Chains A and B, each alone.
Chain A
Amino acid sequence: MDTTVTTGNEENVWGGGNRPLGASYGKMMMWFFIVSDALTFSGFLASYGFSRFKFIETWPIADEVFTHVPFFHGNYPMIYVAFMTFVLIMSSVTMVLAVDAGHKMKQNKVIIYMFLTIIGGAIFVGSQAWEWATFIKGDFGALETKGGRVLQFVKADTGERASISEFSMTLEEDRVADARDSGIWFTDNESLPNYSLNEVIEGFKANPNILIRTEKINEEGEKTLLTREQSLGRLKDAVRVVEGANLVRNEYGSRLFADFFFFITGFHGFHVFSGVVINVIIFFNIILGTYERRGHYEMVEKVGLYWHFVDLVWVFVFTFFYLV
């Protein structure tokens, strides 16, 4: 395509001005990077698939994990992620429009579209930060058993999830968090959950309306609900209260789910963040008229490729984390 003529007279390879495959050096290198980065992301997503197929019967159901929308209460699975996807696609569109305006050498239009792209990217990164915070904070709380399985609670009459704060008892007991300055050397322990194991267990025994839900997915694609007797039996295996998720504990189910969530969306978020930074640099260059003087806007096209790639990766992350 002729729209990206850059080399012309200035950069010649042995005086020849070669452009293999009709792409300039910079654009070609951007594609090299994109292909290798795509393979990195594929590696992550494939290993996610590996872990998921390994624990196919107990993997958390994404619809039940990501149910929040900022400023709204209630259960809205997928809505917010769909919004984030739309924001990213939209910022991709403004980026193409910027590239298109660059081809026509319309500086002011490029400035506007680049600005909109940056805003879109910022909204996306902010949303992802919010998503992380919600995920880390947790929803209902759960118990973890000796074997590392997670037991969640459900109200028997309505079938809704029950939060441990709803039924736990408040017992008179002293729980002390070990800390380095209290004389225990070289150890740091996890921060104490809001309720102790005993408080949850006693509250469960006192409240006949609460049932336990295990991680196992039944034939209808739902988590298995235990009867009251089974629940009381299973309760004996519990060793700790889990609230929220981190790299070691995860109230939503399999810990690997949280690990992969942090790792893959984190790596993607890092790409978006660096994309925004690069876009800002290019944005100021456009304002300063660098590309106007250079005579072409190929630089916008190159960062555009990176930006679309980030969007492309998100399409896959969206599918494999939230939909499938």
Chain B
Amino acid sequence: MAHEHKLEIFRGLLKFKSNTQKIWGVLIFLSVVTAIEVVLGIIKPSFLVLTSFLGMKLLNWIFIILTLVKAYYIAWDFMHLRDEKSSMRRAIVWTPIFLVSYLVFILLFEAVYIYDVFKNGFFAWDF
């Protein structure tokens, strides 16, 4: 059987000799990202916690972005989407991304509204 694996990650910055090597490389990368997340989560640098961006702490944005980075490498290299046809890849990736962003936008917007009602409306809940 033929083996066609695309062996470069980081847009060609890093090229591995074999698929096995690439797997270990991706593992190291994912572990490093997780370690960064955990260290940030324990230390919680105050300038990241106190700075707010688009209604959320900067630290939380960093966590979410790092998570998406990890998700990308799990899907691309472990689930070998990198080796699939691009039409297949797009069908798999963009469908959930579109639906989830829509859902998250609506739900979080509504939640902030309800928060305001709880806070400013004539509604007692802290007793």
Contacts and interface: CB of A to CB of B under 8 A. Distances in A.
Contacts of A47: 107
Interface string B36-67: 01100110100001000000000010011011
If over half of A's interface residues share one DSSP class (helix, strand or loop), that class is named, otherwise mixed; here it is: helix
B40 to A, nearest CB: 8
Given A1-B83, A50-B108, A319-B63, A38 B4 contact: no
A309 B124 contact: no
Contact residues on A (Cβ < 8 Å of other chain), bracket: 35 or more
B127 A54 contact: no
Interface residues of B, number: 60
B1 A2 contact: yes
Max chain A Cβ within 10 angstroms of own Cβ: one of B91, B108, B111 = B111
A145 interface: yes
A90 B27 contact: yes
Given A78-B41, A96-B78, A147-B126, A49 B31 contact: no
Interface of B: 1-5, 19-20, 23-24, 26-27, 30-31, 34-35, 37-38, 41-42, 44, 49, 60, 63-64, 66-67, 70-71, 74-75, 77-80, 83-85, 87-88, 91-92, 95-96, 99-100, 103-104, 107-108, 110-112, 114-115, 118-119, 124-127
Interface of A: 1-3, 5, 21-23, 31, 34-35, 38-39, 42-43, 46-47, 49-57, 63, 77-79, 82, 85-86, 89-90, 92-93, 95-97, 100, 103-105, 145-149, 216, 221, 237, 296, 304-305, 308-309, 311-312, 315-316, 318-319, 322-324
